[in-house]
Structure 1
Amino acid sequence: MHDLPLVIFTILSQLILGGFVTLWWLDRKNDNISRKSGLLITISLLVIGGISLLVSMLHLGQPLYAPRAILNFKVSWLSREIVFYGAFVGLILLYTWFWFKENRAKRTMIGWVASIIGVIAIFSSAKIYMIPSYPAWNGVNTLFTFFLTSLLLGPIFVAAFLTLKGELDVNISVLSICALVFTAVVAVGYFSALLAGLPEAVETARLTFQHGFFWARIVTFTIAFGLLILSYKNSNMRNVKVFSAAFIVLFVSELLGRYLFYETAIHL
């Protein structure tokens, strides 16, 4: 599949936004997160960010010319995505340095800036696809989908690390459950709009419903929801095994959903 690099890039870039904002927010609220844990998480996010950048270039016909894409910043959402996402990863590197130096005040300040830049980067990424020629993409659902991936994957990713060290002092399952419920509501609204839309939109819905990945995503989504409900109700279930399992299942679910996003869209 030609769009596989984009599937991987968009999922990973959204994952690190959610993970970064979660770590920064938790660090602002309490002193429980150790220097070792902070560094472990931020370095992991940097590695994922580096992988996502390398994978994204595989989609280009001539990867060596990728830096020239920024020249159209004033008119191109793709150029804006490249600039803002690159800046976001660079700010994570600086944030990591202040974890190393144990300078909480400066990493709090950098966290504010990086979070805003990261949100703009994901917004730019979504805007690339919101074009009239693809009815299934040209709507607010694309924005919701990209940011919900951040909410679904990022907090659970960080929770798995922090529970390993016994440093998570909030019931993060609440946020994840709310994100899952909102994702389901958005999906219902999205498919309802497709079925009531242009013939190309109806065809996108039909292709999606007939695809095995759609039903596999429902199964993985349901499993993740069950795991998170258990962790919400039972403090003994808020451990690294449960959060890691929930993250893996949700990651697979999001990959399946993003594959369908590209695979089933019909051009006018």
Structure 2
Amino acid sequence: MHELPLVFFTVLTQSAVGAFIVLLIGGALGHIEPRRLAIGLFAAVCLFGLGVVMGIFHVGQPLRAMNMLFRAGHSPMSNEIVLSAVFGTVAGIAALGLLLDRGARKLFIALAWLAAAIGVVFVFAIPRIYQLPTVTTWSSSWTTVVMLLTPLIGGGALAAALGVRRLGLIVSIVGIIASFCLRPGYLSTILLADAPLAAAQSDWFTAQAVLLAAGALGALVYIRARSGQALLFASAGVVIAAELIGRIAFYNLWTLPM
């Protein structure tokens, strides 16, 4: 269970960044009122912060985590830490400024878009850590692809729950469809790399697929019916759970299953 903090860190932070960006796009398109946008952005930043806090528990001695900052620009892990701190700070200031609504709205919106750009770099920085030649099941472009789907799948679902309903659900559904289309190639690659270890994750991958399908179905029903808050939140929860399960399978490809 040693990798569980990383499971929550990667999924929650990536989903939060995705939700933050989708909310901003929805706000620019007029799909959400300013007050609700501010609340949604602040909630996304809080979720991001929760993911970062959970990730700290993976470090054997959290107080020494600051030492990693000295390798920024050279170490992928140090880059990830720095980018998470910068995104959290800029996005937090922007979201809090919009939430308090004390003026300078254009400035805080500009900061929010700057945070979104930093968030994109952060999302791309995470899979670089796992491009390890010694871990054959990770050392491929599929690792990047799988991780980049999470901001779409989880982020879209979260954005829908936070106020940008139709746009968020569409983004999530597109991500889920892409996930199913790419799944055969990904699974065949990890089976070729380490068949016994990959086969041991079949239950995790199956559970993820079932939950993603259920989440997509719930999203489609909601879009068609245009009602049912419970269904909206349930679909978002199921999708996030699916991504967490898929990430557990991913980390299990490194060592013995959890």
Q: Residues 32, 177 of structure 1: CA spacing in aligned structure 2 closer, same or farther, 3 A cutoff? A: closer
Give the CA deviation at 1:4: 0.7
Give the RMSD, CA atoms, in angstroms.
2.0
**Alpha carbons 1:161, 1:240 under 8 Å: kept:** no
**Runs of 4+ with deviation above 3 angstroms:** 168-172
1:213 to 204, 214, 217: 204
The separation in 2 between residues aligned to 1:103 and 1:154, in whole angstroms, is 27
1:129 aligns with 2:120: no
State the match for 1:223 in structure 2.
214
Partner of 2:170: 174
Q: Which residue does 1:165 correspond to in 2?
A: none
Equivalent runs, 1:98-247 vs 2, <5 Å? 98-99=97-98, 100-101=100-101, 103-162=104-163, 168=164, 170-195=166-191, 197-198=192-193, 200=194, 202-209=195-202, 212-232=203-223, 234-237=224-227, 239-247=228-236
CA contact (8 A) 1:221 1:253 kept: yes
Q: Secondary structure at the match of 1:129?
A: coil
Cα offset, 1:256, TM superposition: 0.7
CA 133–5 in structure 1, closer or farther in 2 if over 3 Å, else same: same
Q: d(CA) in 1 for partners of 2:253 and 2:139?
A: 14
Residues of 2 paired with 1:32 and 1:129: CA distance?
37
Task: Note if contact 1:135-1:266 (Cα within 8 Å) is conserved in structure 2.
Answer: no
Unaligned runs of 5+ in 1: 163-167
Q: Within 2, Cα distance between the matches of 1:89 and 1:151?
A: 19
Does the CA-based 8 Å contact 1:28-1:108 persist in structure 2? no
Name the CA shift for 1:169/1:129 in 2 (closer, same or farther; >3 Å): closer
Residues 17-28 of structure 1 mapped to structure 2, 5 A cutoff: 17-28=17-28
Partner of 1:34: 34
Query: Are 1:2 and 2:12 counterparts?
Result: no
Is the CA contact 2:131–2:139 (under 8 Å) kept in the aligned structure 1?
yes
Task: Please list the CA deviations of residues 91-150 of structure 1 after superposition, one character each: whole Å capped at 9, or x if unmatched.
Answer: 111211331335442233223221121111121111000111111111222112222111
Give % identity: 25
Tell me the amino acid that sits aligned with residue 2 of structure 1. H
Aligned-partner Cα distance in 2 for 1:116–1:149: 17
Distance (Å, rounded) in 2 between the aligned partners of 1:236 and 1:28: 22
Confirm or deny: 8 A CA contact 1:136 1:266 kept in the other structure.
Answer: no
**In the TM superposition, what is the alpha-carbon distance from 1:228 to its structure 2 partner?**
1.9
Q: Unpaired runs of 5+ in structure 2?
A: none
* Letter of the 1:140 counterpart: S
How far apart, in 1, do the equivalents of 2:225 and 2:105 lie? Answer: 29
Instruction: State the number of aligned residues.
Output: 254
CA drift of 1:17 comes to: 0.5
Instruction: Tell me how far apart the structure 2 counterparts of residues 137 and 169 of structure 1 sit (CA, whole Å).
Output: 34
TM-score by length of 1: 0.87
CA spacing shift, 1:103–1:216, aligned 2, 3 Å: same
Verify: 1:258 aligned to 2:251, yes or no.
Answer: no
